[in-house]
Amino acid sequence: MRPDHPTPTGRPDRLRSPLPSGAVLLFLLLGAAHLTGHAVEAEALHRATKPLLIPALMLVVLARRGPRLLLAALACGWAGDVLLMPDHPVAFLGGMAAFGLGHLGYLALCRRAARAGSLPTRPRIIGAALGYAAVGGVVVVLLWPGLPADLRVPVAGYAALLTATAWAAALTLGPRGAAGGALFLLSDALIAAGLGDGPVIPAQGLVVMATYLAAQWWLADAVLRSPATGPSGRRPGAGPEGDRSRSADPPPGRGAGGPGDRPVTAAG
């Protein structure tokens, strides 16, 4: 959702990407270095870059003056990434808890977007809920026998939060949000499979991190483009700065949409 008045270059402002190029480049370079470390099995490289990935994405949000709640959700993801680096059960539970808090943040952002935009019809809400619940339930049922006994209940609870995020993002944040939620679900399902006797795919660590980074990217991008976020990236009416942006620009129109590591058996 971007203003429709022309920019000084004559291009419609709504066609510009809301992601500043310098911050995006840093995130992409760090992501490429991290994934390369997985691909060539350079452990020092992917471990060194791991704690820098989400802070780089947070710089994108800061440069865009995105909502504080989005920064908080990403910060929870960063804490989860760091906590998952050591191969220790307590650290794993802490990381899962941090990611759970991040999903609560995303759910709150989806609620804001729903209030600011057009609400989906009730049949669509119910249909999507049933569909995502079925997917999440199948994943838990398939992975349950191979999970360590002390992790079964926490993993099931986290899966419920993760599925709720995917459902809410698909309904309120457009195609980008739907892609981000689905990729997050896929990434964490692969991690859960690596905890026990679940299926292991080739280059599982690489796939886990690629889908995870793409998920965080698409979710952040979708929030920045949502009807609940003003042209400066802030919630409309959220303080003096938001008021100044509205006095300088015409009212925005409604526009459409734009894991030492995460422990997996194969990647380490």
pLDDT tens-digit series, residues 119-176: 788 888 899 899 999 998 998 998 888 888 888 999 999 999 999 999 999 999 999 9
Kindly indicate the confidence band of residue 34, based on its pLDDT and cuts at 50, 70 and 90. very high
Band of residue 38 on the pLDDT scale cut at 50, 70, 90:
very high
Q: Is 108 part of any domain? A: yes
**Does residue 251 belong to any structural domain of this protein?**
no
What is the per-residue pLDDT for 192? Answer: 84
pLDDT at residue 263 tops 60: no
Judge whether 126 and 145 are in contact, CB under 8 Å: no
| The residue type at 8 | P
Q: Report the pLDDT averaged over residues 233-246.
A: 45
For residue 43, pLDDT beyond 60: yes
**Structural contact between residues 61 and 224, judged by C-beta atoms closer than 8 angstroms:** yes
Burial class (CB in 10 A: 0-12, 13-18, 19+), 202: exposed
Query: Structurally, how many domains does the chain consist of?
Result: 1
Q: What is the pLDDT of residues 201-224, one digit of tens each?
A: 788 899 999 999 999 999 999 999
| Residue position matching structure tokens 């909502």 | 67
**Inside any domain, residue 110:** yes
**Structural domain includes residue 11:** no
Q: Which one is predicted more confidently, 3 or 133?
A: 133
Closest CA to 120 of 186, 181, 178, 66: 178
How many whole angstroms separate alpha carbon 20 and alpha carbon 252?
19
- Give domain status of residue 262, yes or no: no
Which residue matches tokens 């791991």? 50
pLDDT of residue 11: 40
CA distance 86 to 132: 31
Q: Can you tell me the distance from the alpha carbon of 130 to that of 220, in angstroms, rounded to the nearest whole number?
A: 25
pTM: 0.77
47 with 261: CB under 8 angstroms?
yes
Instruction: Quote the domain boundaries for residue 51.
Output: 17-232
232 vs 237: CA distance, rounded Å: 11
For residue 55, the one-letter residue type is P
In DSSP terms, which residues pair with 6 in a beta bridge?
12
Q: pLDDT tens digits for 50-107? A: 999 999 999 999 999 999 999 999 999 999 999 999 888 888 999 999 999 999 999 9
Counts of helices then strands in the chain (DSSP H, E): 10, 0
CB 188 within 8 Å of CB 207: no
Residues in CB range of 172: below 8 A, 6 or more apart: 110, 111, 113, 114, 117, 120, 226
104 vs 83: CA distance, rounded Å: 18
In a domain, 71, yes or no: yes
